[in-house]
């Protein structure tokens, strides 16, 4: 529909004009899709000697043509992130330092990404004895999602490499 093609500001103004338009826009934003709203997701783990815990960084790449729709979803779920435009995609970065309070946020992010992701990449970079892998966080993101391509990269960096 036209909501998908309109800039975010225009969608927000349309929602503000009446209850009927707000309902229409909100229903459209959350309709199930037959296409991938998200092109790529990068799920990165950073576990270093100088960091007390595990830092999880989730980077979501959305084609520019779906930017307004994705951002409407983020706004309705009250999710905050850092956004960058790169060529034909918009990159959204979510950084999580402690998993204790973030499972609800991860579930909301999963809802925003939709039921289908083209490419999902898991990267871990470890320079110390790692705590258990945060499988719960990963599960919250991919539960119920069809993933066309899954890639996993794991690097353990020892003290000799760090000293270089």
Q: Are residues 100 and 154 in the same domain?
A: yes
Q: Report whether pLDDT(147) > 60.
A: yes
Q: What is the pTM of this model?
A: 0.79
Q: Is there a single domain that holds both residue 158 and residue 117?
A: yes
- 84-105: average pLDDT: 81
pLDDT digits (tens, 9 = 90+) for 110-131: 989 988 999 999 888 766 555 5
Instruction: Please indicate, yes or no, whether residues 94 and 135 belong to a single structural domain of this protein.
Output: yes
Q: Is 59 found in the same domain as 17?
A: no
Same domain flag for 55 and 126? yes
Domain count, the chain: 2
CB of 137 closer than 8 Å to CB of 103: yes
Contact status, residue 59 vs residue 45, Cβ threshold 8 Å: no
| pLDDT tens per residue across span 34-88 | 788 899 999 988 766 666 667 788 999 999 888 888 988 998 888 888 999 888 8
**DSSP secondary structure of 47-92:** E-TTSSS-EEEEEEEEEGGGHHHHHHHHHHTT---EEEEETTEEEE
State whether 87 and 129 are in the same domain: yes
Q: How confident is the model at residue 164 (pLDDT cuts 50, 70, 90)?
A: very low
Range of the domain at 15: 1-31
pLDDT digits 0-9 by tens, 9-46: 777 787 788 888 888 888 887 887 778 889 999 998 87
């Amino acid at each position: 529909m036209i909501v998908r093609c309109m800039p975010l500001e225009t969608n927000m103004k349309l929602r503000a004009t009446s209850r009927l338009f707000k309902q229409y826009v909100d229903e459209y934003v959350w309709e199930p899709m037959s296409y991938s709203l998200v092109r790529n997701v990068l799920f990165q783990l950073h576990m270093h000697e100088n960091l007390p815990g595990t830092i999880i960084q989730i980077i979501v790449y959305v084609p520019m043509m779906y930017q307004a729709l994705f951002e409407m979803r983020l706004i309705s779920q009250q999710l905050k992130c850092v956004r960058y435009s790169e060529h034909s995609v918009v990159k959204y970065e979510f950084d999580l330092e402690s998993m204790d309070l973030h499972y609800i946020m991860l579930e909301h992010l999963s809802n925003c990404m939709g039921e289908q992701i083209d490419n999902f990449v898991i990267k871990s970079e470890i320079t110390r004895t790692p705590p258990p892998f945060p499988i719960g966080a990963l599960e919250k993101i991919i539960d119920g999602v069809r993933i066309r391509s899954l890639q996993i990269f794991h690097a353990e960096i020892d003290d000799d490499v760090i000293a270089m």
